Structure formats: C-alpha cells, structure tokens
Amino acid sequence: MSYYLDLAFNGVVFGCMYALMAVGLTLVYGLLRILHIAHAAVYAFGAYVAVIVANGSGSLALGLAASLAAAALLGMAIYRVLYQPLLAYPPYVAMIASIGLLVLMEDGFRIAFGEQGLTFARNPYPTQLHEFAGLTVNTVQIAIIGASTLCLILLALFTSRTRIGIGWRATVSDPAMAASFGVNAIKVRYLNFAIGSALAALAGALIALLDNFVEPTMGFVVSYKALAVIVLGGLGSLQGTLVASLALGLIESYGTIFVGRFMDRDAIAFLFLIAVLIVRPQGLAWKAA
Amino acid sequence: MSAYAYSVLAIIGINVMLAVSLNMITGFCGQFSLGHAAFYGAGAYAAASLAASGLPVVPALLAGIVVAALLGAVVGFASLRLRHDFLAVTTIGVSFLFVGFVRKQAWLGAEMGISRIPPSGLGSEGNALLILACALATIGLSLYVNRSWMGFSFRAVGDDEDAARTVGISVTAYKLAAFTLGTGIAGLAGGLYAYFTQFIVPDSFGFLVSVMLMAMVVIGGTGSTLGVAAAAVILTLLPEFFRFMNDYRLLVFGALLVLVVRFAPGGLAGIGRAAIARARGGGAAPQ
C-alpha cells in the first residue's frame, strides 16, 4: 500500500513542478497566442544560475534569488528582442523562432558549461529524509510542494487584489477593452514574461536541487510536457492548467508501473495528451477556451 | 568519387526528400507538423526489420512507405479535429511517442536498434545514386503537385479552411492527402536510409531531427519547393565543409532559425525572389 502512496506523492511533486512551468506558458499563450517553447531554456537557465551562484557564493538562498531575478530579466529580453517584432506575423512564426532560441540556448549551455553538466558543491537536502504519515519524503520534495503552492496562491492574490494584477487579467481576456480603460498593455506583457520566467527558473532550480544535477538538455523534455499540460488544460485557462499538471504528474507516476514495459516515462505524457484530445479536442477545461 | 563523397551525397538526398515532403504538408497545406522524423523513423524501422528477416529490397521499401503513410493518415485524422496550436503540440507528441515506443520494443532492437540490415546489392555508389534519383523525383513531384489542382486545393485549405469549404473543396480529403503523401515520401527516405547505413537506432529519428527538418523548410522559404530543397542541401553541407562547425551544429541551426524568422521571414525563396525582381529593375520587391 505504501508503495502506491509513494507513487502518489511523487506524482504530486512532479505535478507541482509542471504547474510552475506551465503557468508561465499559459500566461504567454493567453496574452500573445504564442506557444513559448523557449520557456524550457529559461527553466534550464534558472537552474544553471542557481548552481553557479550558489557554488560561487556558498549561499543557496543567494543562488535562488539570483536565478529568479536573472530569469525574469531574460524573459523580458526574449519578449522584447524576439516576440515583439514578430507579433505582426501569424503565431506559428514566433513559435518557430522560439524553437530556434531553445536549440540555440541549450547548445550554448553545452558549449559554455560542458556536456557533463554541473552539480551543487554542497547540497544535503535531497538526502534529508522525513517520516510523514507512513511516507518517506525528503526536504526538496517538501520545498517543491510548499514553494509551488505558495507561488500560485500569491499569483492568485496578485491577479485578484492588486490594480496591476486586475489590469493583467483584463488584458488577457480583452486587450482592446483593457487598453481603453487605461491599462498599459506593454507593461502587462513585460510583467507577464518576468513572472512566468521567474516561476520557470524556480522550477528549474528546485529540480536541480532534487537531482543535484543540471545539464544542457534538462529543459527539453520538461518543456514539451508543459506544452502538453497547457493543451490539456485548454490553452489559456489557468485552472485547467493546474488540474492538468497534477493529473499528468499522477498519471506518469502510476503509468510507469503499468505501461513502463512498452514505452518511456516521457512518452506517457503524450499518450495521455493524444488520448484526451481524441475524446475532447478542446482539452480538459470545462468550458471551451 | 570517394566513399565519403557518396555518403555526403546520400545524406543530402535523404534530407532533401524529407524537407520537401514536409513542405508539402506544412508549406502547401498549412498543417504544422513537428513530428516528421517519426514518419521517417517508421519507414526506416519497417524496411529494416523486414529486410533483416529476408524480404528483398523493393518490397521492403514499399512496406516502409505504406507503414509511414498509414501512420501519417492517422495523424492527418487528428489534424481534422484540432486547432493549429493543438496540432503543433500533438505532432511534437508523435515524435516523442515514436522514440519512446521503439526504445522499449525488444523485437525492434530496443536501445540498440537494428544492425543486421542486409546490403541492398547496389554498393555505396548505387545507393547514393538511387537516393539522389528519389530526391530529384520528390522535387519533381512537389513542383508538379504545386501546379496541379491538388496544389491549388492544398493552398486554399492552408490559407483559410472555412473559405475553402465554402467553394466546395473537401478539406478532409485534401488534409488527409497532404499527410499521406508527405509522410509516405518520408517513409521512403527512411527505408533508403536504412539500406544506406545498414544500422539504425531510435535516436536518429528523435524530435531534434523533426526540428532540423522544420528549420530547412522555414529557412528555405515555407511553401517554395526549390527554396526548401536548396536549404536542405546547404544546411547538410555547412557542417561538412566547416569541420569546426560540427560541434556547433545545433547552435548554428538555432541561430539561423532565429535570424531568418526575425529578419527574412520569406526565407531563401523570399530573398531570391526579391533579388530577381531587383535585377529586372523593378525596384524593391515586397517580401
């Protein structure tokens, strides 16, 4: 029995990580209708900055802070340099540019930091085990669940309680109307990329802690899973995205024992995606996006 | 010519076949596919496993075409129901699913791939010439399709599905036709590749290959057969000419993709058209 509980817990941990990744993608899609595939490069970038700064300064907190800040800046730069000039073209043009950027950045990491990847010099957290209601969990897993819950609650409060947050939501649902009410659409876009990218960097840094390892291609598979998640969530729907993230985490976790003999863990996400799309071409969201 | 030159020629031919056939699906018919390598792989695996079990060359190649085209038709059915963005993500999924599936199949050699592929009997020179002939035939077919009623319908579907339906074009039939035709050619390329290398592994048909093929289509100029074929030749040759580039192959592809999309969205074909227009003294031509 505890084996299945462990699987469920693992599923939730990965679900939280997918949620942190997918929120940024969903927000970009909601605002600009672009499938922001280079989000994975931001995730890997966040992990690299966290490792390098933490090893250089000896402080993990500083590493995390630097990672979030650098990723937020990178996200805004990607919008400014790559996406903004391409908004006049059909959305797939920006998506191709995004794939190009992902390939470019991942190869850049490989050339700059080596194929072997990097590890934290001091990282006791994945081996700190805690007994918890019959489950054995480590500190990083708790941190992933805690941090993602906290971030998503803060995000929900931000978008419902603050002026700029409400302006953001208004811009997502109707850009022209929001602009006529005095919302600065350009500011909203920068904010969007800054927050989404910081969340992706947080996911990257936490996964780097969990595996105690960063490598150039670490974002590759995760990114496409995050894409699968946002499609499942109905593209642009935040609630749908959260449900789909957790569902995918759990399905991967259990799927590995049932279909692991026939296919990779990484392929399960897409099998699930294709199965859902056959039944519901509009995704899992309850109302059509 | 040396064996090395023949092998470069063969790879060029295969990439031309793949890029031009992807261009039929994406460029002509507007169906964004990021899973082309999966069909290439399906053809290669079908031909390789049948050849290894004793089937002669021609039936094995035909089987590769059929398997890839069947798989393509299935994805084509998905494209009937899905919006553009959903289709892009689904075809990415097909790429991952194919590699994830093949890796775990003991009867397909799993991670080790298939290595007992018998020679085609043509020698490396004959293989390369056969592949080049197929590549030229693919270009010819693509040019012909583009000028035919079918190409006209493909473009109508790609530009505006609803408008195409209104004027009586069967969107269903043409989408399926585009997918079946394009993926069938990819399957043939896969079979030829299997005979040419006599050794295939799952990773040769992964998502990065799909991205590379899409890069060839976009850099060549989406929808232009000759532009895409030229891009396939150039992007295959670049790393061969500049040995130091081999290590940075992906870096260069990524950078080219970003730069072309950002500064010359018409690709090579767009640049070529503009140059021809300027040479004719027509002044600055639109992209």
Q: What is the pLDDT of residues B169-201, one digit of tens each?
A: 888 888 888 889 999 999 999 999 988 888 888
Q: Is B213 on the interface with A (CB under 8 A)?
A: no
B24 in a structural domain = yes
Per-residue pLDDT of chain A (289 residues; tens, 9 = 90+): 577 888 888 888 888 988 888 888 888 888 888 888 889 899 999 999 999 998 888 888 888 899 999 999 999 999 998 888 888 877 778 888 888 898 888 888 888 888 887 888 777 777 777 777 777 778 888 888 888 889 888 888 888 888 888 888 888 878 788 888 888 888 888 988 999 999 999 999 988 888 888 888 888 778 788 888 888 887 667 778 888 888 888 888 887 777 766 767 777 777 888 777 777 776 666 554 3
3-state secondary structure of A132: strand
Query: Half-sphere exposure of B121 toward its Cβ, with a 13 Å CA cutoff?
Result: 4
Q: Where are the beta strands (DSSP E) in chain A?
A: 129-132, 135-138
3-state secondary structure of A214: strand
pLDDT at residue B11 greater than cutoff 70: yes
- Chain B: closest CA distance from residue A40 (Å): 14
3-state secondary structure of B207: helix
Q: What is the pLDDT of residues A59-91, one digit of tens each?
A: 888 888 999 999 999 999 999 988 888 888 777
pLDDT value of position A236: 67
C-alpha span between A90 and A187 (Å, rounded): 22
- Chain B: closest CA distance from residue A106 (Å): 8
Contact yes or no for B251 and A107 at CB 8 A: yes
pLDDT value of position B69: 92
C-alpha span between B284 and B271 (Å, rounded): 11
Question: For residue A150, what is the enclosing H or E element?
Answer: helix A139-161
Residue with the two structure tokens 């018998």? B118
B128 in a structural domain = yes
Whole-model pTM?
0.83
pLDDT value of position A167: 85
- Residue A182's region, left for phi above 0, alpha for psi from -120 to 50, else beta, is left
First to last CA, chain A: 39
Q: How many domains does chain B have?
A: 1
B179 in a structural domain = yes
B237 in a structural domain = no
- Relative to beta strand A129-132, strand A135-138 is antiparallel
User: What's the Cα-to-Cα distance from B214 to each of A33, A171, B18, rounded to whole Å?
Assistant: 20, 33, 10
CB atoms within 10 A of CB B105: 15
Q: What is the pLDDT of residues B106-148, one digit of tens each?
A: 777 777 777 777 777 777 788 888 888 988 998 999 889 888 8
> What's the burial of B287, exposed, middle or buried (CB within 10 Å: 0-12/13-18/19+)?
exposed
Contact yes or no for B96 and A105 at CB 8 A: no
| Sequential DSSP letters for B163-179 | HHHHTT--HHHHHHHHH
pLDDT value of position A75: 92
Top pLDDT among B211 and B104 is at B211
User: What's the Cα-to-Cα distance from B32 to each of A16, A145, A235, B155, B235, rounded to whole Å?
Assistant: 30, 36, 17, 13, 21
Q: Token pair of B53, please?
A: 């079990």
Q: Could you tell me which residues come within 8 angstroms of residue B136 by beta carbon, excluding any fewer than 6 positions away?
A: none
Identify which of B271, B286, B215, B155 has the alpha carbon closest to the alpha carbon of residue A95.
Answer: B215
C-alpha span between B72 and B122 (Å, rounded): 29
In percent, the amount of chain B with pLDDT more than 70 equals 95
Domain that residue B198 falls in: 3-212
pLDDT band of residue B287 (cuts 50, 70, 90) is very low
Hey, which residues 23-52 in chain B have their CB within 8 Å of chain A?
32, 34
Q: Are A86 and A93 in contact (CB under 8 A)?
A: yes
How wide is the angle at C-alpha A103 spanned by C-alphas A102 and A107, nearest 5°? Answer: 115
C-alpha span between A61 and A224 (Å, rounded): 29
Identify which of A70, A177, A56, A55 has the alpha carbon closest to the alpha carbon of residue A122.
Answer: A55
Measured in degrees and rounded to the nearest 5, phi and psi for residue A37 equal -65, -30
Chain A residues with CB inside 8 Å of B35's CB? none
pLDDT band of residue B43 (cuts 50, 70, 90) is very high
pLDDT value of position B189: 93
Q: Is B96 on the interface with A (CB under 8 A)?
A: yes
C-alpha span between B145 and B180 (Å, rounded): 14
Contact yes or no for A270 and B97 at CB 8 A: yes
Contact yes or no for B261 and A96 at CB 8 A: yes
pLDDT value of position B246: 67
Identify which of B210, B205, B225 has the alpha carbon closest to the alpha carbon of residue B272.
Answer: B225
B14 in a structural domain = yes
pLDDT value of position B18: 93
Q: Is A97 on the interface with B (CB under 8 A)?
A: yes
Residue with the two structure tokens 């056969």? B130
Q: Are A20 and A26 in contact (CB under 8 A)?
A: no
Chain centroid offset of residue A177 CA: 29
For B85, the closest of A228, A235, A278 (CB atoms) is: A235
Average predicted confidence (pLDDT) for chain B = 83
C-alpha span between B225 and B230 (Å, rounded): 9
B82: closest chain A residue by CA: A281
Hey, which residues 219-248 in chain A have their CB within 8 Å of chain B?
220-221, 224, 227-228, 231, 235
Identify which of B149, B156, B219, B168 has the alpha carbon closest to the alpha carbon of residue B28.
Answer: B156
Residue A85 is given by DSSP the state G
Chain A residues with CB inside 8 Å of B206's CB? none
Contact yes or no for A270 and B94 at CB 8 A: yes
> What's the burial of B51, exposed, middle or buried (CB within 10 Å: 0-12/13-18/19+)?
buried
Measured in degrees and rounded to the nearest 5, phi and psi for residue B206 equal -80, -175
Q: What is the pLDDT of residues A252-277, one digit of tens each?
A: 888 777 776 676 777 777 788 877 77
Contact yes or no for B97 and A267 at CB 8 A: yes
> What's the burial of B171, exposed, middle or buried (CB within 10 Å: 0-12/13-18/19+)?
middle
> What's the burial of B273, exposed, middle or buried (CB within 10 Å: 0-12/13-18/19+)?
middle
Q: Are B237 and B12 in contact (CB under 8 A)?
A: yes
Q: Are B128 and B7 in contact (CB under 8 A)?
A: yes
